[in-house]
Amino acid sequence: MATETLRLSTGARLSAIFAALLVGAFLMAGTITFFATARTVENAIRERIALEMQAMEFEIGAEGFAGLVEAIRSRANQPGALGYRLESHDGSIEIDNLRHSRPQPGWTRVEAGADGEQHGAQTLLVLSRLLPDGSLLSIAGNLQQAEAVRRAVLLALGWSGALALLIGLGAAAFVTRRALARMAAVADAVRRFAAGDHAVRAAHAGTRAPDDIDAIADGVNSMLDSVATLAASVRRVSVAVAHDLRTPLSHMRQQLETVGDPDASGAEREAAVSGAQTAIDDVMRTFDAILSRSEIESGTAPNSFETLDLALLAATIANAYSADIEAGGRRLFSCTATPLRVQGNRYLLARAIANLLENAARHTPTGTDIGIEVFAHGATVCLSVADNGPGIPESERERALEPFYRLDRSRGSTGSGLGLAIVAAIARQHRATLVLDDAHPGLRVMLGFGARPSVTS
């Protein structure tokens, strides 16, 4: 109920805003039109008066004062005529239908009675001018016409504004409800996803050009894809952890049963205790590997980047592991003499190199040659660990980077099954490429670093 109220409130608010903007724009345009129209009508009256004054000046010049009086009386009787007031040089009023005292020369506005004051006062625009014979001629135009135009425009604007308001409210309500319905569909997809339907995604509006809501839907879908991938990864890891821990825990149970067996000899009990300790160590190593990978993925592992010599770091790690690798019946070759610098975290890169060497030693037979090399390929600094063992089939190389994934031949080997997964996590932290390739024979694992990898926080 609260959600529906919020939606309606948001829709009403947006509709009101859209309508207010529309009406505001309409009122602004209407105000400009109102004053411009009134000004145009007044200018037309002013121009008519000026032309009439020119005509009367010509008339007095051609026909004299008597001709002027006759012309004015003739014009004053015509429909829609202007108003006239003619005062002779001696002060006598020859013609006066303005109902006003003597105007000042030039343009003035006066209030005068209309039609014998039957219709009350009216505003006149008056032009007064002294003629060559000393008489004063005033010609007036009634501004009621301009006022009538103003009222008509105002009335039209009022009705148009009301209609625009209704149309604006309707259009805004339609557009807003449509947008909110699409947003509600996105929210519904998120709720269904949270309820367990991990296949649901937010839908697009259709075949038209994508808009902002489509961009939101794309962002939500990207997030849902990531969450679904993480959820699948968690399920896969949970199953793998349960499977991998079952064996050492079963061994531990067997050893503890031997310890508790009254018929077991002292030597058998000592061996059982030692076996239980080994099983516990296996479990601890698995949990340590899980915790390490989680820290790297989440960015909580030590994450200070520096400029370092990757070739020197690889040579140092190889030297530390060479004795153990050779003791296991394998040979380690290092070709990392040339200094090659990258931006990276020393601790994490050392962990990645160590994992690659341990992985090569653990999953190859006795007599295998293992090589580690750091070299430049264009602007990329590459770290390669290769062996001539059985390798990994091409169809399984992508899955080999998943946590706890093991080849069938490696099921009985030691290790947590997280070696390459941790390397992949470290590569992502460094924005580095990680490629598993064929060494002909064997496996080659290649890490590629840019000249200055981006530092992620």
CATH of domain 2-149: 3.30.450
The answer, yes or no, to whether residue 40 has pLDDT greater than 90, is: no
CATH of domain 303-449: 3.30.565.10
Domain residue spans of the chain:
2-149, 201-298, 303-449
Most confident listed range (1-10, 151-160, 219-228, 400-409): 219-228
The model's pTM is 0.49
Cβ density class 159-190: b for 16+ within 10 Å, e for less: eebeebeeebbeebbeebbebbebbeebeebe
Sign of CA dihedral 96, 102, 104, 107: negative
For residue range 183-233, what is the model confidence (pLDDT) as tens digits? 888 888 888 888 888 888 888 766 566 777 788 888 888 888 888 877 777
pLDDT of residue 227: 84
For residue range 366-420, what is the model confidence (pLDDT) as tens digits? 999 999 999 998 889 999 999 998 888 888 888 777 776 666 544 445 555 677 8
Cβ-Cβ contacts under 8 Å for 293 (sequence gap 6 or more)? 403, 418, 421, 422, 425
For residue range 88-145, what is the model confidence (pLDDT) as tens digits? 888 788 888 776 677 788 888 887 654 444 445 677 888 888 888 888 888 888 877 7
- Tell me how far apart the alpha carbons of residues 56 and 379 are, in angstroms, rounded to a whole number: 95
Nearest to 358 by CA among 398, 393, 318, 302: 318
201-298 and 303-449 agree in CATH topology: no
Q: Tell me the pLDDT band of 446, cut-offs 50, 70 and 90.
A: very high
pLDDT of residue 117: 46
Please state which architecture CATH assigns to domain 201-298: Orthogonal Bundle (1.10)
pLDDT of residue 414: 53
Percentage with pLDDT > 90 across the chain: 13
